[in-house]
Structure 1
Amino acid sequence: MADEEVATKAPESDAQEQSSSAIPGDTTVDQGSSMGAYITKPADYPHAPSKLLLFLTGGTGIHSTNNQLQADKYAAEGFLVVMPDQFNGDPAPNTSTVIPESEEHPTFIENLKLNLASAAKSFRIDMWLARHTPTTVLPRLHSVLSAVRDEFADAVANGNGIYAVGYCFGAKYVLLLGSELPDDVISGQRESDAQATAEEGMVRKGPAIKTGALAHGTMIERSDFENVQVPVGMVCVEGDGLFPDEVREEGVKVLKEKGQEVDSWVYPGVPHGFAVLGDYEDQKIVDAQKKAFDQMLGWLKSH
């Protein structure tokens, strides 16, 4: 397992970091299938029973040290964790912009350069998001789920299904994997279920997981909640522009109206991405990260 002492990056800032497991047989980045995966197991597995947990990352992907550390924490709690490469080797571009101290009062030219750099990075992010939509991501995830059901059938059976957690980008796909969707959405032939709900005779499948927990989601819409059929626990940031309060509140309302079990824990005064391990100077964020992990872990273990 990775060493928690090396969690020295702030959340969502290590997209291009490369790391690997230090203990053979315990954790691995498996590139042998059509899609790589970071796999981390409890120390006593397979001698002791485990449960299968699908870990869906933010844009930083499976080579992020912080994401690997987060997966290892779940493994230490008894889950066999599979963290798939949702992005097929194409993590999100690094979008941090730092103004040097010497440029406390930047000139017009310096401001122009910063604005151009910011626009270029926004363009790269937009292009990256266009490459990674449900059309491309869902088929990858279902391919991995098919493989793990065979390779780790004991863990799937022990948990009576597959558990899932998702952070940032991955949070949306916890909802989608917990939904009953038309077959052509699952296979990537259609982007969403928005136009299908009134169509008759359509083959629908799912859900693919038994329960899900998510943290500070991105690109989540009200419609993503409409077909959810599994219990969902959500860690959220108050006033998060990437997962607006009104979307969260409407999503909770939709699930409750359907009689679906849901809970949400809202954190004020913390940044988006806080629930992923990182080197935080603010003790409030450190404490919130630990509490959020305990809430998500408790949700999984209670289901």
Structure 2
Amino acid sequence: MADDEVATRAPESDAHESPTHAGSSDERRPAMSEHCTTDRPTPNGEVPQGEIRQLGGIDVYLTKPDTYPSNPSKLLLLLTGGTGLKSTNNQIQADKFASEGYVVVMPDLFDGDPAPNSAAVPESETLVTSFLETFKLKAAETAKSFLLDMWMARHTEEKVMPILEKVIHACEGEFADAVGNGGGIYAVGYCIGGRYVLLLAGERTINHTSWTGAQKQPDEEAGEGQGPTKKGPYIKAGALAHATLVSPEDFRGLKSPVSLVCVEHDPVFPDEVRIAGEDAMSKGNLEHEVQVYPGVPHGFAVVGDYDDTNIKEAQLTAYEQMLKWINEH
């Protein structure tokens, strides 16, 4: 099957994908959706308007309002799912926010290594008519699962957070006007990128040997201690859609207001995680909002074409929810 055939298939049926059953061998394995690794068809006539360049030594997609810098703008980080920096749909999503007055920086969170595409996996709707076809299907699913496991092991927060720190530091220098105009940096995130919005919105106690190991060691002459230090929050406000790989612990220590776009019965952002997150935010008196969208697949909020008009309308509503939140904060 060709790559473009996979990219254009309709995964709406994934909206009700069953979660891993308790007691199975995969019970504790982090889950990722097909939508985290495969783009929807790009809407007709839409093409990216920005450019790929380096910022702080990291590849980023940069897109700006037409009137910038003559008119004041704000700085927005857009954090993607596994399809990454070179996804046309992700770039167009960034352009949409740029058209609303934001200088948008979309960093390559995965250092040139986006998640394995689903091209090797046959259509889930394919009629299996023989034992051999069943065997091939299971083998392909196992191979893809293995590739995703290996990919996730390469892109942990210990690798991703230093990338974000470098980009944020560079933004504070090159786009100081936009950062100052907004009173800080804003962030939106989708799928995997959604989790990093939570991490950027929180205050964390970090050991110098953890994910900040890429930075310099403590400077005793400058009065820096050898023990843990507090870092963050890095952003003024954030919005995230159908986050992936989130645990209840990711909601602890949140300091910046956040808006969540959630999918009803999302197998990769289970209800129990969402409810635990809502409880933590409420107990912490954190300003937040949570909207649950029924009848849509994980990944629906990212730019991409759907045949189902309900999903199309929900996609627009989710974008408006996220835009309104960052505009108001």
When the two structures are superposed, what TM-score results if normalisation uses the length of structure 2? 0.80
Matches within 5 A, 1:69-148: 69-96=92-119, 97-99=121-123, 104-148=127-171
Residue 314 of structure 2 corresponds to: 288
Matches within 5 A, 1:250-289: 250-289=276-315
Higher relative contact order (CA 8 A, sep 6+): 2
Amino acid in the other structure paired with 2:60:
A
Secondary structure of 1:187 counterpart: helix
Residue 234 of structure 1 corresponds to: 260
Secondary structure of 2:58 counterpart: coil
Q: Which runs of 5 or more structure 1 residues have no equivalent in the other structure?
A: 1-6, 190-199
Residue 194 of structure 1 corresponds to: none
Does structure 1 retain, via aligned residues, the 8 Å contact 2:262–2:291?
yes
Amino acid in the other structure paired with 1:35:
I
In structure 2, C-alpha distance between the alignment counterparts of 1:222 and 1:38, rounded to whole Å: 31
In structure 1, C-alpha distance between the alignment counterparts of 2:110 and 2:328, rounded to whole Å: 30
Q: Which runs of 5 or more structure 2 residues have no equivalent in the other structure?
A: 1-6, 11-34, 215-225
In structure 2, C-alpha distance between the alignment counterparts of 1:32 and 1:82, rounded to whole Å: 9
- 1:38 and 2:64 equivalent? no
Secondary structure of 2:105 counterpart: strand
Residue 187 of structure 1 corresponds to: 212
Q: Deviations over 1:127-180 (max 9, x none)?
A: 000111111000011011111111100000000000000100001110111111
In structure 2, C-alpha distance between the alignment counterparts of 1:8 and 1:43, rounded to whole Å: 32
Following superposition, the deviation at residue 9 of structure 1 comes to 7.8
Change in Cα spacing, 1:99 to 1:247, as seen in structure 2 (3 Å) is closer
Residue 214 of structure 1 corresponds to: 240
In structure 1, C-alpha distance between the alignment counterparts of 2:294 and 2:72, rounded to whole Å: 38
Following superposition, the deviation at residue 54 of structure 1 comes to 0.4
Secondary structure of 1:241 counterpart: coil
In structure 2, C-alpha distance between the alignment counterparts of 1:285 and 1:142, rounded to whole Å: 35
Coordinate RMSD, CA, aligned: 2.3
Following superposition, the deviation at residue 14 of structure 1 comes to 3.5
Following superposition, the deviation at residue 112 of structure 1 comes to 0.6
Q: Deviations over 1:36-71 (max 9, x none)?
A: 000000010001000000000000001001101111
Secondary structure of 2:113 counterpart: coil
In structure 1, C-alpha distance between the alignment counterparts of 2:83 and 2:230, rounded to whole Å: 32
Residue 24 of structure 2 corresponds to: none
Following superposition, the deviation at residue 228 of structure 1 comes to 0.8
Does structure 1 retain, via aligned residues, the 8 Å contact 2:63–2:103?
yes
Identity of aligned residues (%): 52
Following superposition, the deviation at residue 22 of structure 1 comes to 7.0
Does structure 2 retain, via aligned residues, the 8 Å contact 1:180–1:206?
yes
Residue 223 of structure 1 corresponds to: 249
Following superposition, the deviation at residue 202 of structure 1 comes to 2.7
Does structure 2 retain, via aligned residues, the 8 Å contact 1:9–1:66?
no
Amino acid in the other structure paired with 1:28:
E
Amino acid in the other structure paired with 1:181:
R
In structure 1, C-alpha distance between the alignment counterparts of 2:213 and 2:269, rounded to whole Å: 24
Residue 63 of structure 1 corresponds to: 86
Q: Deviations over 1:198-220 (max 9, x none)?
A: xx963111111111100000110
Amino acid in the other structure paired with 1:227:
G
In structure 1, C-alpha distance between the alignment counterparts of 2:39 and 2:147, rounded to whole Å: 16
Change in Cα spacing, 1:171 to 1:84, as seen in structure 2 (3 Å) is same
Secondary structure of 1:70 counterpart: helix
